[in-house]
Structure 1
Amino acid sequence: MTERSVTTPAPATAPWRYAIGMFGTSIPINMIKGSMILYYVDILGLDVRVYAGVMIVYAVIDAVDNPVLGFLSDRTRTRWGRRRPWLVIGAPLLAASMIAFFSAPESLEGLGLVLWFAIFAILCEAFDSMLNANYGALLPELFPRERRRAVANSLRQGFQLVALVVSLAVTPLLTTSVFGTEDTTVGFTTTATIYGAIATAVILFMAFSAKENPRYAEGARPRFFPTLLTIIRNPKFWSIGVAGACYASAMALVLAGLQLYVRYSLGLPVANALFLQATVIICSAAGLVVWTRVIRRKGAAFTWRLAFVILALSFVPLFFAADLVTALLAGLLVGIGYSGMLATNDLIVARVLDDDARRHGQHREGLFLSAFGFFGRLNGIITGLALASLGSFFGYNSGDDPGGQPDVAFRIYLCVYPFLLCTVGAVLARFIRVPEGLSEAEADGEMTLAAVRGTAADDETAQ
């Protein structure tokens, strides 16, 4: 048996090994959210009012299952850790659901098409929630020091942006030109199969690379209703949650409507969405380096508020874009604001988790993050209602019945609605008092105790 001093830190997870997991979790859900309107509404002819109804039901179900999944994760005690089993199970299930989602039989119509859409949309979101509740909970656990946490978060957001290039910018080209055509669905099935295999492999690699803190599993298993009551009584949960939901909902609208903005508002083939999406994503990736430096000098809270304002203002020039060139220039501004929110929003949420653990002595990141996920799940309601409003205001009901002003409709959907949401979020962020992060001494204490528990576990295994 090899002895090791208990004061020597246990082997830490390299930030990139954790961060790469974001690549795997992002590919499936971003293809789903980025192509579901094009696939079901514009190509298969699902009415936008039916789509909105399904999305509202789906959001309600998802808001309920999120806290339950997070709670079960917090209570999990296995030799493989609390989070790893859920990640290993959830990855192939999400991949299978995504493939089915984009494999609707051509014979389906009416109620059959609605049921297929509803069932697999809900399954995809449930398994995505399972993955992200556990993946997100690992960030504050693996990286208690905020500077190292900021690096890990920036890296994972960088991997997310790479995933966005693949799942958003490249997807229109693959589905409509390489594996299929503008008016068929076969390309979506092939693309989903490829993405599902890649995502599963990456998530499994990350799950087996992450070294969970064994001390976090030693506390009493949290109880559901007392913990949930503590969370909803925390004013920071509501204020930061609502502000974060404004940002997330705005970007969900952009994600869902960009391909149809290109088709109708710019009058270009859908495949041209590749250039606009790539511009936003590349700009966002480059901006992460700059925003991380701003965080180190000014702090996460200041940087978060600044990024909110820039993101809100960026939608103004995008509204007035008349062709691909002007849209690309506007996309650069969107990328700058989006990059700032990527670099800061999760750090603000992690501070709330740190504050809760410090005050209550329990690490219940899974349930807490899933409760925050409740606000994120409002995206489904907001995107559904926003799309339904296009039918009421502009006559766009589906690809078969686009009305007389689809160009204006998708300028409103992609620019005006996100601008309003981000403006509300920026105002809220200005007045929110963000909790302090862990001090250096507290972070060192977490790492030392992890080393003690890790050594003891190694010794027990060796004996």
Structure 2
Amino acid sequence: MTPRAAGDGPASQSPSSASRIGWRRLAAYAAPMAPLGMLHFPIWVYVAPFYAGLGADLALLGAMVLAARLLDAITDPAMGVLSDRTPRALAARFGRRKPWLALAAPVILFSAWRLLIPPEGAGALHAGLWLGVLMIGWTAALTPYLAWGAELEQGYAARARVTAWRESAGLLGMAGAAVLYATGADAAAGLAAVFAALALALPVATAAALVAVPEPPDRSRRRLPWREAMRAAARNRAFARLIAAWFLNGAANALPAALFLFFVEQRLGAPDAAGPLLILYFMAAVLGAPVWSRLSERFPKHRVWGVAMLWACAVFVWAPLLGPGDVAAFAVITALSGFALGADLALPPAIQADVVDADAAETGEHRAGAFFAAWSVTAKAAQAVAAGLALLALSAAGFDAAVAAQAQSAGALSLLAALYALAPAVLKIAAVALVWRFPIDREAQAALRARLDAPAA
């Protein structure tokens, strides 16, 4: 890890500059997100069916997965606070964020090995134990890593450039994992292929970020007591508005994610198209992220994000009209909605970085870790609530994923289409209403940076 240096990297530049770090450092910073993204599908899509195929008890396996999710609700906030308050001696030499990423990488690798390549006789308890350890390592890496990204740039539009690079790398990792898994002769071989790529990529990518990207110095002027810190966050109206919109949009994105396979299999009757359509979706998002980021250089970030959400609504509402065999039309919808997803990934975290500035201007403490921990908890809660309620509603309507589409009731298939496409549109429109008049625009953020960069009295 390279030591921090005042005057080396972002901290030495004026906040008005469009961008202060070059593409090489941006690529180095974004690199760890690719292997982290590779773990997304194995953990949440493939692992449960894999262990069920090994004979694991489904009820116990479900309980283990739920416990791992609940563990996140504890570890995310804890990790945010810990990374904000990294011991001063360690932070003075390496920075507040880098040490956690360095420590977490081997934990992620070892636990992923135990989870994805289990020993003979492994069952639900083995899966639950190593999934929990993996989640701890993931949180210990990701929360400080996101906070570091918020601190790399101080310019209004430049922050969207950082997040666009990072999230595009994550999407490439997800798509790569899907391709690698598909190359395996069976589930075990597919997961082994994903782990082999992870074992090669994570150490190299982590080292590149730690060595090549300087971490800006902590410019906090005070340390808030816990209760005062909570009260300050509660008074931050911009944060409340953004986090509510983030929850609504996260739920809107979680619904089609949870129901995608059902829609492709039961509504379109094309189960073999699911893999290629997913890859198309992610690749479209990779293309979209830099476009939306560039638009935020000319227009307010919150307005660009709002337009992207409306774009997704305009595209997705046509999905309920599709039926068996309409794969080509659905591919167009998938590509256009994936393009809009690029904005969901690139812009909200950049807006959140501006919210952290507002908090720091009021409190004197830079708490990006705590704010991005709340960000992560909100995203996970949105995913869990939306997916859970959708599955419950489908079950109540008599939908049965184990039977052919012809055996489903018309009402169940109509509800599937409505939950897949119409409900997300309603949620996204509500999110647009919250962010359209967001109080921190380019001028407001510049004023915040001027306050933060002013010499202490």
Q: Same fold judged by TM-score > 0.5?
A: yes
- Aligned match of 1:277: 278
- Aligned match of 2:73: 63
Residues 440, 389 of structure 1: alpha-carbon distance in 2 compared, 3 angstrom cutoff: closer
Aligned amino acid, residue 292 of structure 2:
W
Q: Check whether the contact 1:308–1:426 (CA below 8 A) recurs between aligned residues.
A: yes
Structure-to-structure mapping, 1:167-246, within 5 angstroms: 167-168=177-178, 170-174=179-183, 179-181=184-186, 184-216=187-219, 219-246=221-248
- Aligned match of 1:453: none
Asked if 1:75 corresponds to 2:85, the answer is yes
Q: Structure 1 residue 152: deviation in Å?
A: 2.0
Residues 167, 251 of structure 1: alpha-carbon distance in 2 compared, 3 angstrom cutoff: farther
Residues 172, 406 of structure 1: alpha-carbon distance in 2 compared, 3 angstrom cutoff: farther
Aligned amino acid, residue 28 of structure 2:
R
Measured in 2, the distance between the counterparts of 1:50 and 1:280 equals: 33
Residues 263, 294 of structure 1: alpha-carbon distance in 2 compared, 3 angstrom cutoff: same
C-alpha RMSD of matched pairs (Å): 3.8
Q: Structure 1 residue 407: deviation in Å?
A: 12
- Aligned match of 2:145: 135
Cα deviations by residue, 1:109-165 (Å, 9 ceiling, x for unpaired): xxx42x334333333333222222111111231100112222222222322232232
Q: Check whether the contact 1:99–1:193 (CA below 8 A) recurs between aligned residues.
A: no
Q: Check whether the contact 1:31–1:171 (CA below 8 A) recurs between aligned residues.
A: no
- Aligned match of 1:85: 99
Measured in 1, the distance between the counterparts of 2:227 and 2:176 equals: 40
Q: Check whether the contact 2:111–2:130 (CA below 8 A) recurs between aligned residues.
A: yes
Measured in 2, the distance between the counterparts of 1:190 and 1:407 equals: 41
- Aligned match of 2:360: 357
Cα deviations by residue, 1:358-392 (Å, 9 ceiling, x for unpaired): 22111010011102222112123543454455444
Residue in structure 2 matching 1:383, options 381, 384, 387: 387
Measured in 1, the distance between the counterparts of 2:288 and 2:141 equals: 27
Number of aligned positions between the proteins: 431
Cα deviations by residue, 1:299-357 (Å, 9 ceiling, x for unpaired): 10111111122223433334425343233122112112212222321122122111111
Q: Check whether the contact 1:75–1:82 (CA below 8 A) recurs between aligned residues.
A: yes
- Aligned match of 1:95: 109
Measured in 2, the distance between the counterparts of 1:222 and 1:187 equals: 48
Deviating more after overlay: 252-261 vs 222-231: 252-261
Aligned amino acid, residue 294 of structure 2:
R
Gapped regions of structure 1 (runs ≥ 5): 450-463
Q: Structure 1 residue 446: deviation in Å?
A: 6.6
Secondary structure of residue in 1 paired with 2:354: helix
Structure-to-structure mapping, 1:14-413, within 5 angstroms: 14-36=25-47, 38-40=49-51, 43=53, 54-76=64-86, 77=88, 78=90, 79-104=93-118, 107=121, 112-113=123-124, 115-168=125-178, 170-174=179-183, 179-181=184-186, 184-216=187-219, 219-255=221-257, 258=260, 261-263=263-265, 265-268=267-270, 272-319=273-320, 320=322, 322-323=324-325, 324-378=327-381, 379-387=383-391, 389-394=393-398, 396=400, 405=408
Q: Check whether the contact 2:143–2:373 (CA below 8 A) recurs between aligned residues.
A: yes
Deviating more after overlay: 83-92 vs 121-130: 121-130
Q: Structure 1 residue 418: deviation in Å?
A: 6.2
TM-score (norm 1): 0.79
Q: Structure 1 residue 292: deviation in Å?
A: 2.4
Secondary structure of residue in 1 paired with 2:296: helix
Measured in 1, the distance between the counterparts of 2:280 and 2:214 equals: 35
Measured in 1, the distance between the counterparts of 2:48 and 2:140 equals: 24
Q: Structure 1 residue 448: deviation in Å?
A: 9.8
Q: Structure 1 residue 209: deviation in Å?
A: 2.2
Measured in 1, the distance between the counterparts of 2:337 and 2:36 equals: 23
Q: Check whether the contact 2:264–2:271 (CA below 8 A) recurs between aligned residues.
A: yes
- Aligned match of 2:17: none
Residues 430, 48 of structure 1: alpha-carbon distance in 2 compared, 3 angstrom cutoff: farther
For CA contacts below 8 A with separation 6 or more, give which structure has more relative contact order: 1
Aligned amino acid, residue 131 of structure 2:
A
TM-score (norm 2): 0.80
Residues 326, 402 of structure 1: alpha-carbon distance in 2 compared, 3 angstrom cutoff: closer
Aligned amino acid, residue 241 of structure 2:
S
Residues 190, 314 of structure 1: alpha-carbon distance in 2 compared, 3 angstrom cutoff: same
Measured in 1, the distance between the counterparts of 2:180 and 2:393 equals: 27
Measured in 2, the distance between the counterparts of 1:46 and 1:385 equals: 26
Measured in 1, the distance between the counterparts of 2:406 and 2:141 equals: 39
Q: Structure 1 residue 430: deviation in Å?
A: 1.4
Measured in 2, the distance between the counterparts of 1:406 and 1:199 equals: 47
Measured in 1, the distance between the counterparts of 2:197 and 2:36 equals: 14
Residues 267, 185 of structure 1: alpha-carbon distance in 2 compared, 3 angstrom cutoff: farther
Residues 185, 7 of structure 1: alpha-carbon distance in 2 compared, 3 angstrom cutoff: closer
Structure-to-structure mapping, 1:431-446, within 5 angstroms: 431-432=434-435, 433-436=437-440, 437=442, 439-440=445-446, 443=449
Residues 5, 194 of structure 1: alpha-carbon distance in 2 compared, 3 angstrom cutoff: closer
Q: Check whether the contact 1:19–1:159 (CA below 8 A) recurs between aligned residues.
A: yes
Q: Percent identity?
A: 22
Q: Check whether the contact 1:38–1:260 (CA below 8 A) recurs between aligned residues.
A: no
